[in-house]
Amino acid sequence: MRDTLPLLEVTDFPAIRRATLDTLQVNLGYKCNQRCLHCHVNAGPTRTEMMSRELVEMIPEVLAKRGIGQLDLTGGAPELHDDFRWLVTQARALGVQVIDRCNLTILFEPGQEGLAEFLAEQGVEVVASLPCYSLDNVDAQRGEGVFDKSIAALQRLNALGYGQVDSGLKLNLVYNPQGPSLPPNQQGLEADYKRELMAHFGVQFNQLYALANMPIKRFGSTLVSKGQFDGYMTLLKDNYSRANLDGVMCRSMISVDWQGGLYDCDFNQQLAMPTLGGPRKLADLLGAEPIEGPIHVADHCYGCTAGQGSSCGGAL
């Protein structure tokens, strides 16, 4: 898909450097039970790329060696990896906080029985995509029937304590705009989500993350096909805020692809833009080489710094 998109790497985005490493974000593979229009990974049911057992077993070693406090698991649907539960258990035994980037409907897939209970038992933080609180908008973006299944999944997680006050089980939702626009104010939108989901479905959650869509892979190709790519890039650049630079996720994390390659973020991973210096493979993180250094930037980085900003933890 990359060669169908305009070149992003010739950029005037300002140079930035990694400050520390407190999060290892691992893409376990591109297989997913859904095929969402806004997906920057091009994930779907027919994808076969999955991380090897050898590499999965290396992850707890890296966490311990580098003293990394947070493991952020993504995909595809990371839960579809055969070693997902093993990896979660190993990381939690090290005292590492684990985040599961969950699409919610995965809880009802064959072979995923007991997944919600497992996540609760391990104290895994669930970050779940729910691009709107209305059926029509969600199904238009993610597929027919997704909204009802997502609500049922949220209710199941709530019943286990997720999103409940003082339970210690965090349930955060992710909002993405449907098209080439910036997300609205995160605080106001979160209030709307909490009001509507509680009133209509009795659903509770902790925080809402409002994220801009990245002009790459499936979403980028959709923009190109509709003649909207240049306009969207102009929107991102016109709304650039230098104040967001200090909080962008790449300054404190490294992204690992299913083959063990290292990237400054998940978006760079999808654009085949590896780290510029220092460690380049997962195994390299078992050495003593420092990870501080320049971050590989391109035009899509404006997506994280436009308006209120976007990061793995929501607006900046």
pLDDT at 2: 42
State yes or no: pLDDT of 86 exceeds 60. Answer: yes
Q: What is the pLDDT of residue 146?
A: 79
What local confidence, expressed as pLDDT, does residue 311 receive?
57
The answer to whether residue 40 sits within a structural domain is yes
Asked if residue 311 belongs to a domain, the reply is no
What are the pLDDT digits (tens) for 149-176? 899 999 999 999 999 988 999 999 998 8
In a domain, 316, yes or no: no
149 or 4: which leads in pLDDT: 149
| Structural domain total, the chain | 1
* pTM for this prediction: 0.90
**Which is it for strands 207-210 and 97-102: parallel, antiparallel or unpaired?**
unpaired
Q: Which amino acid is at 135?
A: L
Q: What is the sign, positive or negative, of the torsion defined by CA atoms of 93, 90, 153, 114? A: negative
pLDDT by residue (tens digit) across 181-190? 998 889 999 9
Q: Are 119 and 89 in contact (CB under 8 A)?
A: no
Under DSSP, the state recorded for 312 is T
Q: How far apart are CA 23 and CA 20, in angstroms?
A: 9
Averaged pLDDT for residues 290-310: 87
Q: Who's near 202: CB < 8 A, 6+ residues apart?
A: 155, 158
171-175: strand order across its sheet: 207-210, 171-175, 125-129, 97-102, 70-74, 23-27, 253-256, 262-263
Query: Residue 237 pLDDT > 80, yes or no?
Result: yes
The residue-averaged pLDDT of 88-102 equals: 97
Whether residue 114 lies inside any domain: the answer is yes
User: Considering the domain boundaries, does residue 38 fall inside one?
Assistant: yes
Q: Is position 167 within any domain?
A: yes
CATH number at residue 12: 3.20.20
Per-residue model confidence as pLDDT tens digits over 36-57: 655 666 677 788 899 999 999 9
Report CA 262 to chain centroid distance, whole Å. 16
310 located within any domain = no
The dihedral through the CA atoms of 10, 15, 17, 23 has a sign that is: negative
Containing structural domain, residue 269: 2-305
Region 21-50 average pLDDT: 82
- Look at residue 190 and tell me if it is in a domain: yes
Give the three-state DSSP class for 74. strand
Six-digit token string for 300: 């899509």
